[in-house]
C-alpha cells in the first residue's frame, strides 16, 4: 500500500481558512466516502467548507481551478479504476498534471485525493472504509490545509 511513510499529521489549526472540496460522482461508493471524510477533516480543523460534485475525474480540474480563486486550499477527490484500455493512463496523467498546474499557477494548495487503482478492492482500502489502511479524502485535506497554513506563515515572515 502506498501509505508507507505517511507523516503523522492528525490535525491542522485552520481557523479562518476556507477549503473548496470537489469530488467526482463516478465510483460513488468510493467517492462519497472520500468526499465526506474530506469535509469532516476540514471541519475538525476549523476550516470553512465549500463543497461541490462533478461527474468524473476529468471534470475535477476546471472546478478546482475556480475554487482556487475563492479558497485558501482546494481538495479534489475521485476514483479511477484501471480497465482494459489505455484510457486509465490518459485520465490519471491528465488529472495529476492539471491539479499540479492549478496549484502552481494560483499559489493555492491543491490536495490530490484522486485514487488511481487497479481494482475496486484497492480503492476501498485507500478510501477510509472501516478497516482500511488509508483515508485519502482526509489525508488530502490535511495536506492542503497544512500547506495553506505554511504559506500564510511564510507570507508573514517574508
Query: Is 85 marked as a binding-site residue?
Result: yes
Sheet containing strand 18-24, strands side by side: 48-54, 18-24, 73-81, 110-117
Query: What span, in angstroms and rounded, lies between the C-alpha atoms of 141 and 137?
Result: 6
Query: Is 126 marked as a binding-site residue?
Result: yes
Q: What is each CA distance from 76 to 22, 24, 49, 103, in whole angstroms?
A: 5, 8, 13, 12
Query: Is 39 marked as a binding-site residue?
Result: no
Query: Is 92 marked as a binding-site residue?
Result: no
Query: Is 80 marked as a binding-site residue?
Result: yes
Query: Is 26 marked as a binding-site residue?
Result: yes
Q: Which of 37, 70, 87, 146 is catalytic?
A: 87
End-to-end CA, the chain: 39
Query: Is 145 marked as a binding-site residue?
Result: no
| 146 among known catalytic residues | no
Helix (H, G, I), strand (E, B) or coil at 119: coil
Query: Is 152 marked as a binding-site residue?
Result: no
Name the one residue in this structure whose C-alpha cell is 490545509.
145
Q: Which residues are annotated as a binding site?
A: 26, 57-59, 79-81, 84-85, 112, 126
Q: Which residues are annotated as a binding site for (2S)-2-hydroxy-3-oxobutyl phosphate?
A: 84-85, 126
Q: Which residues are annotated as a binding site for 5-amino-6-(D-ribitylamino)uracil?
A: 26, 57-59, 79-81, 112
The residues annotated as belonging to the active site are 87
Amino acid at each position: 500500500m502506498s501509505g508507507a511513510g505517511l507523516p503523522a499529521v492528525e490535525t491542522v489549526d485552520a481557523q479562518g481558512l476556507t477549503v473548496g472540496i470537489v469530488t467526482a460522482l463516478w465510483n460513488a461508493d468510493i467517492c462519497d466516502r472520500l468526499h465526506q471524510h474530506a469535509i469532516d477533516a476540514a471541519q475538525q480543523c476549523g476550516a470553512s467548507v465549500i463543497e461541490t460534485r462533478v461527474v468524473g475525474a476529468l471534470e475535477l480540474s476546471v472546478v478546482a481551478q475556480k475554487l482556487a480563486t475563492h479558497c485558501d486550499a482546494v481538495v479534489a477527490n475521485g476514483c479511477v479504476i484501471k480497465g482494459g484500455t489505455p484510457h486509465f493512463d490518459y485520465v490519471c496523467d491528465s488529472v495529476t498534471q492539471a491539479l499540479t498546474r492549478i496549484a502552481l499557477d494560483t499559489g493555492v494548495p491543491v490536495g490530490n485525493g484522486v485514487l488511481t487503482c487497479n481494482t475496486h478492492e484497492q480503492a476501498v482500502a485507500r478510501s477510509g472504509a472501516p478497516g482500511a489502511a488509508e483515508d485519502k479524502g482526509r489525508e488530502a485535506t490535511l495536506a492542503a490545509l497544512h500547506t495553506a497554513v505554511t504559506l500564510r506563515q511564510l507570507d508573514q515572515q517574508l
